[in-house]
C-alpha cells in the first residue's frame, strides 16, 4: 500500500469514528479535534477488562487513525513509509513533521497508542500531547 492510500484510509477511518460518535462530517472535516470530546467519552465508557483481541485491534486502529489525522490536518505533519526489516511487512508508517527546532522528527502512531494502553486510563489528549512532544511541535517544546 502506498503512503497516500494509507493516509486516505486513516482519514476515512477517523471520519467513520466521527459518524459513529455523532460528530457532523463537515464539522469533523473542518476540525478533526471536534471529535476529541466524544471520542474521549466513548473510550472512557468502554469495558476494557472485557475486551478480546479483536476489540483491542479495532480500538488501536481507530485511535491511530484519529491521532494521525489530527497531526496531519492540524499540525502540518505527513504520513511516511519507512523501510524496517524487523516489521513483518518490511516497512512501517510514521508521522513526520518539522519540529520547532527546524529538524524533521518522526513518531509511530501505533507506538503512541500502545503506550496509552499500557498506562490506563486512556486519555486522548495525553496521547496527542505525547505525539506532539516526540515531533517537537508543541509550544512547550524547548529547543
pLDDT digits (tens, 9 = 90+) for 80-89: 999 999 989 8
Q: Collapsing DSSP states into helix, strand and coil, what is residue 2?
A: coil
pTM for the model stands at 0.92
Q: What are phi and psi of 32, to 5 degrees?
A: -60, -20
Cell representation of residue 72: 496531519
Look at residue 138 in the predicted model and tell me its pLDDT.
Answer: 81
C-alpha span between 65 and 80 (Å, rounded): 14
Amino acid at each position: 500500500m502506498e503512503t497516500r492510500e494509507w493516509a486516505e484510509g486513516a482519514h476515512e477511518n477517523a471520519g467513520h469514528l466521527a459518524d459513529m460518535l455523532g460528530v457532523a462530517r463537515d464539522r469533523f472535516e473542518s476540525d478533526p479535534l471536534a471529535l476529541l470530546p466524544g471520542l474521549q467519552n466513548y473510550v472512557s465508557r468502554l469495558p476494557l477488562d472485557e475486551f478480546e483481541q479483536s476489540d483491542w485491534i479495532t480500538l488501536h486502529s481507530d485511535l491511530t487513525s484519529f491521532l494521525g489525522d489530527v497531526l496531519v490536518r492540524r499540525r502540518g505533519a505527513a504520513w511516511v513509509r519507512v523501510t524496517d526489516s524487523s516489521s513483518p511487512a518490511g516497512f512501517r508508517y510514521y508521522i513526520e513533521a518539522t519540529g520547532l527546532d527546524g529538524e524533521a522528527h518522526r513518531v509511530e502512531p501505533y507506538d503512541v497508542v500502545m503506550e496509552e494502553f499500557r498506562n490506563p486510563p486512556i486519555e486522548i489528549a495525553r496521547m496527542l500531547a505525547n505525539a506532539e512532544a516526540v515531533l517537537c511541535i508543541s509550544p512547550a517544546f524547548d529547543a
